[in-house]
């Protein structure tokens, strides 16, 4: 198996998009088969060497960054093994990127619906973080699309976990040939969720591994469900005079329960201001924007446009003032506009030499307005009290309003603002937990959000996660420092 110990090569594996620094590793395994993954696991298990899986390195929480030991990169495990157009599923190695899978299945007239924005992320990374994107509103997160996973464990065993098989019994215990244990004694929240190990009554073992962030086993093969490609889509970015108007627009539209809407995305005033140098045609003044995508059929465009026009007018916006995606070029431009948001923000964190400080909170639908008000009240109060302007603490709220899930990014442009930013983030976390929400809806916990996970599940919940980890990885070599403390 290919192994690298050259420090210059190792350096390339010490980063992701969290800006977390301080990582180190003695070497990198680059396996090309399941047998080579097993070989790497056996070596590390024998020497109790920590082993961190690294994939596309697009994660936002430092999950793939090693703090000692070896890295196992899935870069060379990048084959699409099968696309079954008839039964609508695909089987891939974990290092296949979203882009590669989407292109391959689209040639068969099919779609892999989860749409986490970053296309260079891998399927293995998506499974490990239970990633989701805008289209989660209609199609759900990665979890919903996993039919089967193959998992390799440090003791040399491997599991082939088919959804619907290997489920917990009526006492919520898994009874497997080598081990038996009960599922975590907490329940995952009903919101979209990627915080810690999944737990639900009579759950399947496959669901324990989805979202486990490389801490329980290595995902070596993935079978995903596919759907027929969307017939035709219509995109719209509408601009609103107030945030409240934008939110009311979304909630009224959602109340119609139209199953053809793929996503609703929200951008606040600061998001738009951040993008305005690159997008000088952004309408001003404008306090918020909403981006929707809807599946339409040829011939009914006019009916949809009329109905959107009416709803927009009612909430202080207009179709004339909106950006429309009616053809491939316009849609591509809007997708780029959407993708530019996290890219710009990640660049701002980089410039500020700050570890990414961004919430990933989702709350129950009936609590969304309360959460948004809390963000705004606290941000205004904190900035007023500290006499801080946007030049000192920049806050950007954007994200998946369809799923009651926004990211609040807190960029401390001056070092003195960092403590304030951190305490604001913690107050958001506590509020979300009090409302029955999650501290991570899609990015996972990694190394930088463990304190938030504790707020959500308490010390007992974390102890439950450690109990589960010990079942699969008794020497604590895998993904050390992700989800539960390194020691």
Ligand X SMILES: Cc1cc2nc3c(=O)[nH]c(=O)nc-3n(C[C@H](O)[C@H](O)[C@H](O)COP(=O)(O)OP(=O)(O)OC[C@H]3O[C@@H](n4cnc5c(N)ncnc54)[C@H](O)[C@@H]3O)c2cc1C
| Contacts with ligand X, residue ranges (CB under 6 A) | 16-17, 52-60, 63-64, 74, 94, 116-118, 121-122, 124-126, 128-129, 131-133, 213-214, 218-219, 342-343, 346, 442-443, 446, 479, 482
> Smallest distance from the beta carbon of 151 to ligand X, in angstroms?
8
Give least dist CB 7 to ligand X, A: 20
C-alpha–C-alpha distance, residues 194 and 444, integer Å: 5
What does the radius of gyration of the chain's CA atoms come to, in whole angstroms?
22
Select 353 or 373, whichever has its Cβ closest to ligand X. Answer: 353
Q: What is the DSSP string of 271-324?
A: HHHHHTTT-TTS-SS-SEEEEEEEEE-TT-HHHHHHHHHHHHHHTT--STTSEE
HSE value, Cβ hemisphere, 13 Å, CA-based, for 246: 26
3-state class percentages of the chain: helix first, strand second, coil last, to nearest 5: 35, 25, 40
Which is closer to ligand X, CB of 18 or CB of 417?
18
DSSP structure class, residue 163:
T
Q: What angle do CA 49, 55, 56 make, to 5 degrees?
A: 150
- In whole angstroms, the minimum distance from the beta carbon of 434 to ligand X comes to 24
| DSSP-derived secondary structure for 14-65 | S--TT-----B-SEEEE--SHHHHHHHHHHHHHHT--EEEESS---SSSTT-
Residue 443 C-beta: closest distance to ligand X, Å: 5
Which element (helix H / strand E) includes 461?
A: helix 450-472
Of 383 and 465, nearer to ligand X (C-beta) is: 465
- In angstroms, the CA 430 to CA 375 distance is 12
Selection from 470, 471, 453 nearest residue 462 by Cα: 453
Task: Return d(Cα 213, Cα 23) in angstroms, integer.
Answer: 17
Q: Which is nearer to ligand X, 402 or 417 (CB)?
A: 402
**In the complex, minimum distance from the CB of residue 400 to ligand X, in angstroms, rounded to a whole number:** 8
Residue whose C-beta lies closest to ligand X = 125
Q: Which is nearer to ligand X, 382 or 441 (CB)?
A: 441
- Measured from the CB atom, the residue of 53 and 311 that comes closer to ligand X is 53
Q: In this structure, what token pair is assigned to residue 487?
A: 């020691």
In whole angstroms, how close is the CB of 127 to ligand X at the nearest point? Answer: 7
167: region left, alpha or beta (phi > 0 left; psi from -120 to 50 alpha): beta
16 versus 315: smaller Cβ distance to ligand X = 16
Residue 137: exposure state from Cβ atoms within 10 A (0-12, 13-18, ≥19): buried
Rounded to a whole number of angstroms, the minimum distance from the CB of residue 55 to ligand X is 3
Give the nearest distance from C-beta 53 to ligand X in angstroms: 4
Q: Which two tokens stand for residue 419?
A: 């403590």
Q: What is the DSSP letter of 11?
A: H
Given the complex with ligand X, which of 382 and 481 has the nearer CB atom?
A: 481
**Which tokens hold the place of 96?**
């296949």
Nearest distance, CB of residue 371 and ligand X, angstroms: 19
User: Which residue, 61 or 199, has its beta carbon nearer to ligand X?
Assistant: 61
Q: What are the tokens at 337?
A: 């506009």
**Rounded to whole angstroms, how far apart are CA atoms 54 and 71?**
7
> Measured from the CB of residue 287, what is the shortest distance to ligand X in angstroms?
23
Upstream peptide bond of 285 is cis (omega within 30 degrees of 0): yes
**Closest CB to ligand X among residues 358, 388:** 358
Of 323 and 398, which CB lies nearer to ligand X in the complex structure?
A: 398
Residue 99 C-beta: closest distance to ligand X, Å? 11
CB 124 → ligand X: shortest distance, Å? 3
Copy the structure tokens of residue 152.
Answer: 């390799």
Q: Going by C-beta distance under 8 Å and a sequence separation of 6 or more, which residues neighbour residue 367? A: 404, 435, 436, 437
> Which of 315, 405 has the CB closer to ligand X?
405
> How far from 376 is each of 214, 361, 427, 436, CA to CA, in Å?
35, 15, 12, 19
């Amino acid at each position: 198996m290919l192994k690298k110990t050259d420090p210059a090569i190792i350096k390339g594996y010490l980063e992701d998009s969290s800006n977390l620094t301080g990582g180190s590793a003695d070497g990198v395994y680059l396996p090309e088969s399941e047998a080579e993954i097993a070989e790497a696991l056996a070596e590390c298990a024998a020497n109790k060497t920590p082993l961190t899986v690294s994939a596309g390195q697009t994660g936002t929480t430092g999950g793939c960054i090693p703090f000692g030991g070896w890295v196992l990169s899935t870069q060379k495990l990048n084959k699409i093994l099968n696309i079954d157009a008839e039964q609508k599923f695909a089987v891939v190695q974990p290092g296949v990127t979203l882009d590669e899978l989407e292109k391959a299945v689209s040639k068969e007239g099919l779609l892999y619906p989860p749409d986490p924005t970053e296309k260079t992320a891998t399927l293995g990374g998506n499974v490990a973080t239970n990633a989701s994107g805008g289209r989660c509103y209609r199609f759900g997160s990665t979890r919903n699309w996993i039919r089967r996973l193959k998992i390799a464990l440090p003791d040399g065993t491997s599991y082939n976990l088919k959804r619907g098989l290997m489920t917990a019994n009526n006492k919520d215990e898994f009874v497997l040939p080598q081990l038996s244990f009960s599922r975590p004694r907490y329940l995952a929240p009903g919101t979209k969720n990627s915080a810690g190990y999944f737990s639900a009554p009579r759950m399947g073992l496959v669901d324990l591994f989805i979202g486990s962030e490389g801490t329980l086993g290595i995902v070596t093969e993935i079978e995903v469900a596919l759907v027929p490609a969307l017939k035709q889509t219509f995109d719209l970015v509408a601009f609103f005079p107030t945030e409240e108007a934008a939110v009311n627009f979304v909630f009224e539209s959602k109340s119609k329960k139209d199953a053809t809407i793929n996503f609703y995305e929200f951008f606040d005033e600061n998001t738009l201001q951040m993008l305005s140098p690159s997008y000088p045609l952004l309408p001003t003044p404008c306090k918020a924007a909403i981006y929707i995508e809807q599946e339409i059929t040829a011939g009914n465009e006019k009916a949809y446009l009329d109905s959107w026009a009416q709803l927009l007018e009612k909430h202080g916006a207009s179709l004339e003032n909106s950006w429309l995606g009616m053809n491939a070029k316009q849609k591509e431009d809007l997708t780029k506009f959407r993708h530019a948001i996290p890219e710009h923000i990640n660049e701002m964190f980089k410039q500020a030499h700050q570890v990414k400080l961004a919430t990933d909170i989702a709350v129950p639908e009936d609590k969304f307005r309360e959460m948004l008000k809390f963000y705004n009240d606290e941000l205004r109060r904190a900035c007023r009290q500290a006499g801080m302007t946007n030049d000192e603490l920049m806050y950007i709220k954007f994200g998946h309003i369809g799923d009651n899930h926004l990211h609040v990014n807190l960029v401390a442009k001056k070092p003195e603002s960092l403590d304030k930013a951190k305490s604001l983030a913690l107050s958001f976390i506590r509020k979300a937990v009090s409302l029955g929400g999650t501290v991570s809806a899609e990015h996972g916990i990694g190394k930088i959000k463990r304190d938030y996970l504790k707020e959500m599940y308490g010390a007992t919940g974390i102890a439950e996660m450690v109990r589960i980890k010990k079942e699969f990885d008794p020497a604590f070599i895998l993904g050390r420092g992700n989800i539960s403390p390194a020691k």
